[in-house]
């Protein structure tokens, strides 16, 4: 492009101005693509990088645009507001910024995109240090830990997030900023012995590396002397304390007492007290060319931000939440404008530039933008012939290799000569095809030169994370949150209450037991090697379960009763499977060129789960059997994209597609998504619901009958008898469990010999998933999309100024806000109060469950379509619609809501690549109950993506099981607990499928060895329980080896008592396989074994005698065996031998 522009007088003048530093100047007459090309050409000409300043709302759009022209584009995230007071805040925002700085300083950038808010931010010299750790490096462990703390790393027990580290003896786990994985650094004395990557989920190492760079996890330099800063804080604190009233003094103390006592720095809020010299981002990158996009919009945004900052500061100062010098956290407007005095301003139209003295105004009116043809070959060819007749040099950006080949075929059919090119042609006339993509075309009439965009594909951000397959075993283990007082289910003894762990020493051997309480104050001590027999009790409601009675048949009878009720459920499923095997469906063709182009236009990198699901669905569609597949994945994990690809595939074979959804709002939303995604292809999409007029509905029904409509999206209106299809090929059902019984019956009829894809956001329990293999085809998307951040969570006292700032900040970046107030009677008053607070420019709507259904749908659709900025609502938003543009949630009186509810609500935001915010507020001066405090503090813990917060997760799993097996019998679930219910159902299905289901044995092992995990070896209680659970679940020699590897990897050498514990657990596993129900140690090396039956006993006796062991059969049909030295290992080897002789 530079070669083309250099021929133009306007560009030559622009070059001269830049060389002479005759700035600021304005370039006018350029559209979006023109601006991008001017930036690209000037950077190329002067071999410089660019700072590009725009409004916060436009940053994402510019990032996408520049990505098709430059290799490295960074959009700098805004710093969190230092005035906002919160006591629960996720650090992800800060870590994300630090990762951007790593990219900026280490990898470099071509364009750094800044918002007007970024210009107010103050930086110290941004010393960008790192610690370079290598194998064999001599460094004292204490010095490394001190350095990590100075680098802003947080010390924790278990490393789960970036910016954390933990130490267990000579092993230090660190999750470095900008690293794909956390690292485990193992010391030998004061030398680094090994460095390994480890997996956050399993905490196991998987790859040894030579070295790692540990970058800073905080912007500020913590290696300074802060004594003078502390003095300044204390002086202002004392003065403020004298000025403020009682409430203000209380706020002041709560906010700054720990800083005054020098217990913490709070540097991210108090930096004006600690540092003397500050720079702006423009100062730091003073070698770059500075561009300002649409100056007046940036100016207005700066003005509004400064006013907001000043008002907020005055208000918070009066209330004691900030100290006076914090007013200097930001640059002033005049300081910012001074930094723009050397900028190049890019404007589409000529307009007055305020407060800057311009040196030149240059017009680029000769650049004409041409919209992308989006794959429409006929129109492109018509225009192409016109440009050829005028003797133009024509460069066509095809979008991709697939699109280029498609277009080349069309040009050959029209006898149009062309050449393929790697780079655009500048000099020679002719037609040149390039397999890359640009957003829009551009024409320079004076030079008879044109760029055309045949197909615009947004450049996908490359995913850094290399995916690794997780084993089923890993996925099964989750850290159990067992707390004393929790109800548990023991598979043999029934429902009891967990009282904790207890060490018991008998005759010099110590073991640890789980103490459970049963009915009539009776107690059961369960060896930790049998922890796999215990599950946390989960019912379908909050009613406390009845404790089982030990020594009675009550529990067995209860299980039998549930088994009986499950026979029908399991029978239905197995019959359904048999019918499907006989069905004959339509065999869809392989993917077409358009299918590939459609898939390439997806602007994100597909997750591994999405790709797997797409492959499975296409395989089903291309087979002769009718598809009946469930696609399961968390909300926002990309199920709709997968469904759209299946729908598009069906349309390519001239089949119709029906998408059935439970609500009108969801229908409207899917319609918008499908239409936007398929707009470049000749696919006719309609939505059929009550919101359409009678005439419109008739027209759509006629179109379906005639086959002029390809895809119809609708509610149960689609199931009406007047709706007939010309040739239905695919039925997509979203959240089937939300339809009523009558609707489900009609769906069954519609399903006959049609491919069916059912989408569900509720997780399917793993145990059930396994049992249903082959009965219902299941695709699961388990990984969140790239660029998805955990929601930034604040828990704070209600403060109008902060609420106002949160709403305006979201709106300023083009987003929307949920404001949750859960009382209908005065919700209108709250909305009015909010309107008063934020001003009339913000459009506010109300939504609650007591509104008329049509009125409610209308409000929600208007909100989805962006006609309102804020939705004041009750918990009706808890589940359902996906609104990626809503990225701030404010909850009033959050202490009144349950934990699972809070988790679900927070899942309503953070559905896009934007950072989302949740503010959980409680009333000023309200004394929170202990429960409420615990709930709000717990929110801090579940900020991670897919953290699968246990309560919400299990509640969803119960619904998920319902979506597969039909209506679940809640009474039966409550009587045995959810896990036992699913286990019994799985057994019943396996039995009906003809599998051999053996009764479960729980061998009793009573041998004289100390076997436990001491807290000096694993100090974190959760980790200890989790490790006990893993050890008790040993099923093979491989599991034993895995556990030894994990313990050595994570905690160092295995102590003797832990070694014994593993061997006893393995012994239990071998006993199950050999049919041994108890092992009793009579004396050193002498054991009594009891078998499940006489046949097993005889076989074992014969084998022991063959091996030359002393063994005899007792009258009670037990076997007495004498084992030589090192008897525990010998006993394990004996039983391994028995297993190999295939019991």
Of the pLDDT bands very low, low, confident and very high (cuts 50, 70, 90), residue 473 is very low
Give 192-246 pLDDT, tens digit per residue: 999 999 998 888 999 999 999 999 999 888 888 889 999 999 999 999 999 988 8
**Residues 809-819, mean pLDDT to the nearest whole number:** 84
Of the pLDDT bands very low, low, confident and very high (cuts 50, 70, 90), residue 844 is very high
How many residues does this entry show for the chain? 1143
* Residue 888 pLDDT: 93
Bigger pLDDT: 543 vs 266: 266
Give 610-626 pLDDT, tens digit per residue: 999 999 999 999 998 88
* Residue 123 pLDDT: 92
Give 702-721 pLDDT, tens digit per residue: 999 999 999 999 988 898 88
Of the pLDDT bands very low, low, confident and very high (cuts 50, 70, 90), residue 471 is very low
Bigger pLDDT: 841 vs 182: 182
Of the candidates 611, 733, 576, 741, which has an alpha carbon nearest to the alpha carbon of residue 667?
733
- Rounded to 10°, the helix 664-678/853-864 angle is 30
**Residues 501-513, mean pLDDT to the nearest whole number:** 88
Bigger pLDDT: 282 vs 852: 282
Same fold, 2-124+279-363 and 130-215: no
* Residue 912 pLDDT: 72
Q: What is the Cα–Cα distance from 544 to 949, expressed in whole angstroms?
A: 21
SS3 754: coil
Of the pLDDT bands very low, low, confident and very high (cuts 50, 70, 90), residue 589 is very high
% of residues, the chain, pLDDT over 90? 40
* Residue 373 pLDDT: 86
Task: Say if CB 684 and CB 705 are below 8 A apart.
Answer: no
Q: Give the list of residues 6+ apart from residue 639 with CB closer than 8 angstroms, or none.
A: 631, 633, 759, 761, 781
The domain covering 792-944 belongs, at the CATH homologous superfamily level, to P-loop containing nucleotide triphosphate hydrolases (3.40.50.300)
Structure tokens at 718: 């689609």
- At residue 847, does pLDDT exceed 80? yes
Beta-bridge partners for 173: 166, 184
CA distances in angstroms from 67 to 32, 75, 107, listed in the order given = 14, 11, 16
CA 613, distance to chain mean position in Å, is 18
- At residue 1070, does pLDDT exceed 70? yes
* Residue 945 pLDDT: 45
- At residue 174, does pLDDT exceed 90? yes
Q: What is the Cα–Cα distance from 587 to 463, expressed in whole angstroms?
A: 35
Of the candidates 395, 392, 393, 397, which has an alpha carbon nearest to the alpha carbon of residue 374?
397
- At residue 340, does pLDDT exceed 60? yes
Strands 360-363 and 430-434: unpaired
Bigger pLDDT: 636 vs 872: 872
* Residue 434 pLDDT: 92
Of the candidates 721, 817, 812, 27, which has an alpha carbon nearest to the alpha carbon of residue 360?
27
CA distances in angstroms from 748 to 688, 757, 774, listed in the order given = 20, 13, 20
Structure tokens at 837: 């607070």
**Residues 254-267, mean pLDDT to the nearest whole number:** 87
Q: Cis link prior to 1041 (omega < 30° from 0)? A: no
Range of weakest confidence among 214-218, 450-454, 751-755:
751-755
* Residue 950 pLDDT: 45
Could you tell me which CATH class the domain 130-215 is placed in? alpha beta
* Residue 569 pLDDT: 75
CA distances in angstroms from 636 to 164, 633, 785, 911, 915, listed in the order given = 27, 8, 8, 6, 14
Give 94-111 pLDDT, tens digit per residue: 888 899 999 998 889 999
* Residue 89 pLDDT: 55
* Residue 1143 pLDDT: 45
Q: What is the Cα–Cα distance from 1109 to 1106, expressed in whole angstroms?
A: 8
- The CA-CA-CA angle for residues 715, 718, 720, to 5°, reads 120
Bigger pLDDT: 555 vs 483: 555
Cα-Cα-Cα-Cα dihedral of 599, 602, 608, 609, to 10°?
-90
Q: What is the Cα–Cα distance from 736 to 723, expressed in whole angstroms?
A: 19
**Residues 1053-1060, mean pLDDT to the nearest whole number:** 94
* Residue 191 pLDDT: 94
Structure tokens at 895: 């202490």
Task: Say if CB 1 and CB 424 are below 8 A apart.
Answer: yes
**Residues 1111-1132, mean pLDDT to the nearest whole number:** 86
Q: Give the list of residues 6+ apart from residue 58 with CB closer than 8 angstroms, or none.
A: 293
Give 109-136 pLDDT, tens digit per residue: 999 999 988 999 999 876 678 999 999 9
- At residue 817, does pLDDT exceed 70? yes
| Mean confidence (pLDDT) of the chain | 85
Give 62-71 pLDDT, tens digit per residue: 998 898 889 9
- In the chain the first and final C-alpha atoms are separated, in Å, by 77
Task: Say if CB 342 and CB 290 are below 8 A apart.
Answer: yes
What residue segments make up the domains of the chain, in order of their start? Answer: 2-124+279-363, 130-215, 379-453, 583-781, 792-944
CA distances in angstroms from 854 to 669, 845, 859, listed in the order given = 16, 15, 9
Give 1092-1108 pLDDT, tens digit per residue: 888 888 888 888 888 88
Would you tell me how many other CB atoms lie within 10 Å of the CB of residue 1073?
16
Quick one: CATH architecture of 583-781? 3-Layer(aba) Sandwich (3.40)
Q: What is the Cα–Cα distance from 275 to 265, expressed in whole angstroms?
A: 12
Is the full-model pTM beyond 0.85? no
- The CA-CA-CA angle for residues 687, 689, 690, to 5°, reads 145
- For domain 2-124+279-363, give the CATH number: 3.40.50.300
DSSP type of residue 107: I
- The CA-CA-CA angle for residues 370, 376, 381, to 5°, reads 75
Give 665-680 pLDDT, tens digit per residue: 788 888 988 998 998 8
Q: What is the Cα–Cα distance from 967 to 975, expressed in whole angstroms?
A: 17
Bigger pLDDT: 496 vs 746: 496
Task: Say if CB 24 and CB 359 are below 8 A apart.
Answer: yes
Q: What is the Cα–Cα distance from 1032 to 886, expressed in whole angstroms?
A: 45
**Residues 368-394, mean pLDDT to the nearest whole number:** 89
* Residue 1039 pLDDT: 93
């Amino acid at each position: 492009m530079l070669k083309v522009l250099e021929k133009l007088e306007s560009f030559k003048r622009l070059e001269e101005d830049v060389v002479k530093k005759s700035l600021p100047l304005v370039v006018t007459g350029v559209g979006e693509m023109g601006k991008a090309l001017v930036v690209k050409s000037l950077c190329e000409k002067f071999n410089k990088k660019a700072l590009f300043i725009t409004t916060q709302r436009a940053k994402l759009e510019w990032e996408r645009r520049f990505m098709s022209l430059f290799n490295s584009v960074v959009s700098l995230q805004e710093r969190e507001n230092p005035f906002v007071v919160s006591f629960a805040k996720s650090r992800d925002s800060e870590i994300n910024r630090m990762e951007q700085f790593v990219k900026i300083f280490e990898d470099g950038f071509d364009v750094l995109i800044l918002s007007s808010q970024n210009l107010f931010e103050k930086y110290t010299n941004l010393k960008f240090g790192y610690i370079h750790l290598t194998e064999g490096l001599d460094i004292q462990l204490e010095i490394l830990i001190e350095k990590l703390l100075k680098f802003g790393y947080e010390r924790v027990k278990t490393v789960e997030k970036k910016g954390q580290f933990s130490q267990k003896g000579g092993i230090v786990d660190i999750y470095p900023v900008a690293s794909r994985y956390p690292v485990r650094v193992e010391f030998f004395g004061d030398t680094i012995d090994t460095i390994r990557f480890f997996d956050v989920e399993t905490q196991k190492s998987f790859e040894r590396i030579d070295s790692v760079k540990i970058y800073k996890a905080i912007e500020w330099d913590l290696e300074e002397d802060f004594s003078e800063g502390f003095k300044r804080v204390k002086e202002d604190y004392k003065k403020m304390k004298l000025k403020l009233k009682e409430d203000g003094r209380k706020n002041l103390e709560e906010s700054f007492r720990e800083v005054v006592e020098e217990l913490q720095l709070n540097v991210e809020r108090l930096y004006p007290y600690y540092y003397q010299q500050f720079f702006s981002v423009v100062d730091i990158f003073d070698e770059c060319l500075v561009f300002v996009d649409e100056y007046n919009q940036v100016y207005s945004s700066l003005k509004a931000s400064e006013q907001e900052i000043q008002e907020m500061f005055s208000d918070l100062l009066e209330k004691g939440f900030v100290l006076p010098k914090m007013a200097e956290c930001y640059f002033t407007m005049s300081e910012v404008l001074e930094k723009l005095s050397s900028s190049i301003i890019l404007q589409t139209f000529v307009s007055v530039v305020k407060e800057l003295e311009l040196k030149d105004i240059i017009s680029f009116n000769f650049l004409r933008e041409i919209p992308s043809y989006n794959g429409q070959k006929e129109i492109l060819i018509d225009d192409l012939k016109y440009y050829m007749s005028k003797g133009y040099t024509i460069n066509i950006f095809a979008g991709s290799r697939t699109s280029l080949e498609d277009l080349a075929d069309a040009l050959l059919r029209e006898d149009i000569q062309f050449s393929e090119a790697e780079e655009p042609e500048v000099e020679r006339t002719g037609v040149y095809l390039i397999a890359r993509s640009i957003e829009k075309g551009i024409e320079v009439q004076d030079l008879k030169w044109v760029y055309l965009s045949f197909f615009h594909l947004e450049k996908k951000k490359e995913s850094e994370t290399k995916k690794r397959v997780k084993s089923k075993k890993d996925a099964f283990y989750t850290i159990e949150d067992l707390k004393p007082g929790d109800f548990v289910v023991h598979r043999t003894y029934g429902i009891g209450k967990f009282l904790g762990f207890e060490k018991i020493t008998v005759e010099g051997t110590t073991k640890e037991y789980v103490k459970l309480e049963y009915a009539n104050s009776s107690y059961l001590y369960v060896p930790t090697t049998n922890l796999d027999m215990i599950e946390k009790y989960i019912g379908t409601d909050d009613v406390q379960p009845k404790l089982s009675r030990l020594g009675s048949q009550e529990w067995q009878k209860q299980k039998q009763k549930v088994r009986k009720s499950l026979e029908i459920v399991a029978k239905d499923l197995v019959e359904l499977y048999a019918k499907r095997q006989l069905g004959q469906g339509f065999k869809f063709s392989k993917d077409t060129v358009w299918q590939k182009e459609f898939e390439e236009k997806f602007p994100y990198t597909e997750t591994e789960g999405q790709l797997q699901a797409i492959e499975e669905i296409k395989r089903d569609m291309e087979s002769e059997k009718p598809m009946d597949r469930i696609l399961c994945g968390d909300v926002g994990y990309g199920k709709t994209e997968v469904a759209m690809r299946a729908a598009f595939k069906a349309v390519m074979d001239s089949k119709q597609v029906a998408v059935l959804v439970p609500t009108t709002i969801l229908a409207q939303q899917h319609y918008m998504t499908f239409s936007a995604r398929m707009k470049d292809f000749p696919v006719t999409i309609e939505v059929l619901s009550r919101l359409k007029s009678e005439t419109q509905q008739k027209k759509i029904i006629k179109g379906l009958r005639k086959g002029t409509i390809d895809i119809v999206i609708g509610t149960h209106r689609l199931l009406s008898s007047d709706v007939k299809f010309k040739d239905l090929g695919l039925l997509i059902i979203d959240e089937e469990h939300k339809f009523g019984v009558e609707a489900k019956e009609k769906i069954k009829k519609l399903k006959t010999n049609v491919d069916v894809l059912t989408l569900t956001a509720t997780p399917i329990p793993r145990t059930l998933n396994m049992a249903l293999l082959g009965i219902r085809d299941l695709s699961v998307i388990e990984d969140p999309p790239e660029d998805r951040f955990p929601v930034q969570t604040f828990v704070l006292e209600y403060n109008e100024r902060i609420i106002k700032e949160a709403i305006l900040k979201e709106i300023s970046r083009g987003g929307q806000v949920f404001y949750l107030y859960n009382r209908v009677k005065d919700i209108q008053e709250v909305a009015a109060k909010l309107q008063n607070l934020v001003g009339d420019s913000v459009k506010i709507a109300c939504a609650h469950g007591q509104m008329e259904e049509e009125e409610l749908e209308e409000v929600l659709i208007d909100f989805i379509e962006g006609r309102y900025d804020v939705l004041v609502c009750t918990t009706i938003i808890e589940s359902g619609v996906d609104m990626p543009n809503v990225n701030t949630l404010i909850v009033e009186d959050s202490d009144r809501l349950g934990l699972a509810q809070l988790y679900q609500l927070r899942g309503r935001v953070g559905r896009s690549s934007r950072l989302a915010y949740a503010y959980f507020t409680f009333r000023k001066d309200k004394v929170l109950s202990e429960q409420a405090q615990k709930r709000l503090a717990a929110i801090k813990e579940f900020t991670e993506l897919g953290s699968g917060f246990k309560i919400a997760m299990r509640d969803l799993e119960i619904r998920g099981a319902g979506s597969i097996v039909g209506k679940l019998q809640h009474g039966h679930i409550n009587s045995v607990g959810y896990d036992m219910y699913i286990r019994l159902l799985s057994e019943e299905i396996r039995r009906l499928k003809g599998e051999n289901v053996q009764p479960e044995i729980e061998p009793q092992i009573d041998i004289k060895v100390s076997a436990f995990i001491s807290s000096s070896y694993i100090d974190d209680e959760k980790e200890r329980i989790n490790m006990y659970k893993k050890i008790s679940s040993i099923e093979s020699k491989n599991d034993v080896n895995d556990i030894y590897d994990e313990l050595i990897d994570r905690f160092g050498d295995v102590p003797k008592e832990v070694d014994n514990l593993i061997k006893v657990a393995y012994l239990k596993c071998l006993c199950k396989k050999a049919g041994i129900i108890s092992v009793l140690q009579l004396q050193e090396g002498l054991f009594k074994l009891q078998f499940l039956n006489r046949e097993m006993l005889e076989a074992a006796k014969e084998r022991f005698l063959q091996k030359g062991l002393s063994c005899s059969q007792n009258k009670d049909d037990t076997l007495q065996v004498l084992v030589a030295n090192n008897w525990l290992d010998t006993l394990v080897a004996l039983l391994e031998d028995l297993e190999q002789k295939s019991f």
